[in-house]
Amino acid sequence: MGKKVKLREQKVGLAHLRGEQQNLDRRNEHSDQRRDSLAARLRAGDRTAAAELVDLYYERIYLFMRRLGHSRQVSEDLTQESFLNAWGHIGQLRDGKALNSWLYRIAGNVSKLYWRRHKGREAASIEGIEVADGSSKTEGDKAGHNEQLEQLKNAVTRLPIKLRQAVVLHYMQQLTITEAAEAAGIRKGTFKSRLNRALKALRKHVM
């Protein structure tokens, strides 16, 4: 009897997992269809699609700028400039699958141009590295964790811009390696090399 119950529970568990996977697949399919539709409307010059693009991506691009080390005000300005540039280069957008990398590549170029124009300006403290829930930690543990977090933020800020961008694109903006490499305008192998160099540098500064 016990074996039958256990087997039934396993079947129910597997069915639940399959159901969750199917739901995830449907959400991803819907997301892909939405991006394809949005990309097609953008290429057709649909201004309502341009407004939808801003609604969908404004916060992501703003955080991208903050995580690259720009101040809040500069990040707002560069985010707006990125969307203006995107509308001006809409013909370069291939399809919905390329939407993420296309927009981040434009934003990355806007950021690079800003740094080139303001050589010597220090990066601002980055946003986007969150503190994990430390409810079970002691006050001493929390203080140590927060100190390590600050070390990590400072270490990312001190990275050369190309290495910093690699970390931000993949780990903070959560782009795939392929998307992040396309966004950076480099080959996947080159991107992986930059990412490895960045992680190696961070390990030296964060104990």
Higher pLDDT residue, 4 or 174?
Answer: 174
Which of 85, 110, 125 is where one domain is finished? Answer: 125
Q: Where are the alpha helices (DSSP H) in the chain?
A: 2-43, 47-67, 72-88, 99-117, 139-158, 161-167, 177-184, 188-205
Task: Kindly tell me if the per-residue pLDDT of 133 is higher than 50.
Answer: no
This prediction's pTM: 0.73
Q: Is 192 in the same domain as 205?
A: yes
CA angle 89, 64, 98 (to 5 degrees): 40
Residue carrying structure tokens 């693009």: 53
CATH number at residue 151: 1.10.10.10
Q: Is 118 in the same domain as 145?
A: no
| Residue 36: both structure tokens together | 């394809």
Q: Is 121 in the same domain as 154?
A: no
Burial of 16 (C-beta count, 10 Å sphere; 0-12/13-18/19+):
exposed
Task: Kindly tell me if the per-residue pLDDT of 188 is higher than 90.
Answer: yes
- How much is the pLDDT for 137? 45
What average pLDDT does this structure show over 72-94? 93
Give the whole-number percent of the chain exceeding pLDDT 70.
70
What does DSSP assign to residue 13? H
Which of 62, 94, 125 is where one domain is finished? Answer: 125
In this prediction, residue 128 has a pLDDT band, given cuts at 50, 70 and 90, of low
Q: Is 102 in the same domain as 152?
A: no
- Please write the tens of the pLDDT for every residue from 3-16: 554 555 455 555 54
Q: Is 187 in the same domain as 142?
A: yes
- How much is the pLDDT for 66? 94
Give the whole-number percent of the chain exceeding pLDDT 90.
46
Range of the domain at 136: 128-207
Q: Is 135 in the same domain as 120?
A: no
Mean pLDDT, the chain, integer: 79
Task: Kindly tell me if the per-residue pLDDT of 203 is higher than 90.
Answer: no
| Number of domains into which the chain is organized | 2
Q: Is 152 in the same domain as 182?
A: yes
Q: Is 110 in the same domain as 46?
A: yes
CATH number at residue 17: 1.10.1740.10
What average pLDDT does this structure show over 125-145? 49
- Please write the tens of the pLDDT for every residue from 138-170: 554 445 445 666 777 888 888 999 999 999 999
